[in-house]
Amino acid sequence: MSCFDGFAGRAKSFVSRPQLFLLILALSGMPGCGGGNSGIGPITIGSGKVEGFAGAAAADEPRATIVARDVLSGGGSAVDAAIAAYFALAVTLPSNAGIGGGGACLVHDAKTFKVEAVMFLPQAVPGGQFGIPASVRGMAYMQARYGRVPWATLVAPAENMALGGITVSRALAREIQTAGDKLRSDPELARIFVAPDGHLLREGGALTQLELGSVLDQIRSRGGGDLYMGGVANRVAEAAEGAGIPLTREMLRSAVPQVVQPVSFDYGSRALFFTPPPASGGLVGAQLMKILHDTEDWNGTSADVRPHLFVESSMRVFADRGRWLQPNGGTSIEPSQLLDDSHLKELMASYSPDHATPASALQPPPPPAHPENPWAASLVVIDAESNAVACNFTLNDLFGSGRVVPGTGIILAASPNVAGENAYNTGPMIWASRNNKSIYYLAAASGGVTAPTALAQVFLRVVADKQPLDSAIAAKRIHHNGEPDVVFYEEGIAQPLLQSLESRGHKLQKAGILGRVQAIYCPRALDESNSTCLAAADPRGNGLSVVLQAQ
């Protein structure tokens, strides 16, 4: 990519595959990727010099990772880097992370030893088919609460890329091709993502988003609140009214992020943290991981039985989800009750290591399957001070509602109340100490119902099985979501594993990609001597990971 050019010293070499690598930095003054004709000029964040470990990042689109790296190398915190990377994603991967959507983040604050969940999911426009934009306000809140780099500095790289233009990455090209009919059906979307000769933009093609860049210019100079109560809010509301989109200033003003306590439980001498409902994928993942750690003994289970234990636990957790999950993504039962040892033991009471339990025999059985939104973007960042951020962003469907607010370049999220279009499978995770600033693992995944099981499998391979992070993420996965009563598996998975499942009575079905995971693993606390972290982007996608480490 052109934005990789021009780096000094040993930073010139990049791995072309989205797998683990170590980026050795000896730089001075690294400009933000994608600069161009905006008139703002390249953004230099700090000195760019790195001494020892300076942080790590992984995201679903490479230029977002590069922006995060630039912020970290200049002394910005993990939160600063995550905010800048999000705005980059809004330009380079607008199919999932556009500013018309929302998301959920876990933030590990090394000063307070706390993990907090910042929730800004796109809520439904009353009576409409759209979601209310929430991501910008979520980022503004995080910057005010945790950040130290000026807001304008964090938004500027994305503004440069929108106004100056970018080349379409492989990650975005894949999603443009997937959503071809949807893009062609809306004139505003087609104007952005369909070339004049009628073909969809391809990898390497030129993408300029002048209207979005203009909005980002105002957000950069006036603050994130301008989208909700200022000039941008007026501009969006007026354009929406003219296009028959029921999005008003009052609705924009109502998009207020929340900081809440995450769902958590002790895992060894540390704790696992997940997002709470309505980002309910976090609670699903927490139940699954607590069963495998506390209710059953994953470490003490033989390799031959482990796949069976995993899918039996997954099936029960998704069946339980059908009991507590509400239409708005909330829960009718307190998460603490759903994670109580007695409840989880009851879920696993019918488990046998020798044979599969029919899903229909569970009480209650899994509800009928229905389409669920698999589309989201993932981002994870850690800095040298043990601050860390893990986020999911979503438009509730690929390219959201399929509508652009005219004159703004903002793709509106689909309403979370439209069948199959919801944000509720999101749920990043963090593994950290409750008593000090030490953090050891953070990850986020996309893929709808497969995201929690993908996160669990990668974590178990890394922490329990001591596999290298990159190979743990690349390893083939399995999944069971209750209904239909089948075990889904990825092509290329080991035949002995499938035979082990079949011998116990499981029905098998080959699937496509079972989740995409971005993760960072720190084997030792960062305040120990010579400590560092590893980062990996899922090879099922086209993202990028970087580790900043002086030689």
**What is the tens place of the pLDDT at every residue in 148-157?**
999 999 999 9
Structure-token pair, residue 231: 């000039």
Residue predicted with more confidence, 3 or 382: 382
Q: pLDDT tens digits, residue range 110-135?
A: 999 999 999 999 988 887 789 999 99
Among the ranges 14-18, 123-127, 499-503, which has the highest mean pLDDT value?
A: 499-503
Q: pLDDT tens digits, residue range 395-432?
A: 999 999 999 999 999 999 998 866 445 657 889 999 99
- Which pLDDT belongs to residue 37? 30
Which pLDDT band, with edges at 50, 70 and 90, does 269 fall under?
Answer: very high
As to burial, measured by CB atoms within 10 angstroms (0-12 exposed, 13-18 middle, 19+ buried), residue 225 is: middle
- Which pLDDT belongs to residue 372? 82
Q: What's the first-to-final CA gap in the chain, in angstroms?
A: 25
Encode 202-221: b = buried (16+ Cβ within 10 Å), e = exposed: eeebebbbebbbbbbbbbbe
Q: pLDDT tens digits, residue range 518-541?
A: 999 999 988 877 788 999 999 999
Q: pLDDT tens digits, residue range 376-398?
A: 999 999 999 999 999 999 999 99
Structure-token pair, residue 202: 């391809």
Residue 212 has pLDDT above 80, yes or no: yes
Query: What does the pLDDT average to over 75-92?
Result: 97
Contacts of 453 (CB under 8 A, 6+ apart): 288, 310, 314, 477, 478, 479, 480, 481, 514, 515
Q: How many CA atoms lie within 13 A of 130 on its CB side?
A: 20
Closest CA to 313 of 335, 345, 280, 342: 345
Q: pLDDT tens digits, residue range 447-471?
A: 999 999 999 999 999 999 999 999 9
For residue 365, whether the previous peptide bond is cis, meaning omega lies within 30 degrees of 0, is: no
Residue 17 has pLDDT above 90, yes or no: no
Question: Maximum Cα–Cα distance for the chain, whole Å?
Answer: 67
Structure-token pair, residue 246: 């029921």
Counting residues of the chain whose pLDDT is more than 90, the rounded percentage is: 81
Per DSSP bridges, beta strands 23-24 and 270-274 are unpaired
pTM score of the predicted model: 0.90
Q: How many CA atoms lie within 13 A of 100 on its CB side?
A: 33
Query: What does the pLDDT average to over 74-92?
Result: 97
∠141-456-63 over CA atoms, to 5°?
50
Query: What does the pLDDT average to over 145-166?
Result: 97
Query: What does the pLDDT average to over 298-324?
Result: 96
Report whether 415 contacts 124 (CB < 8 A). Answer: yes
- Which pLDDT belongs to residue 51? 73
What does the mean pLDDT of the chain come to?
A: 89
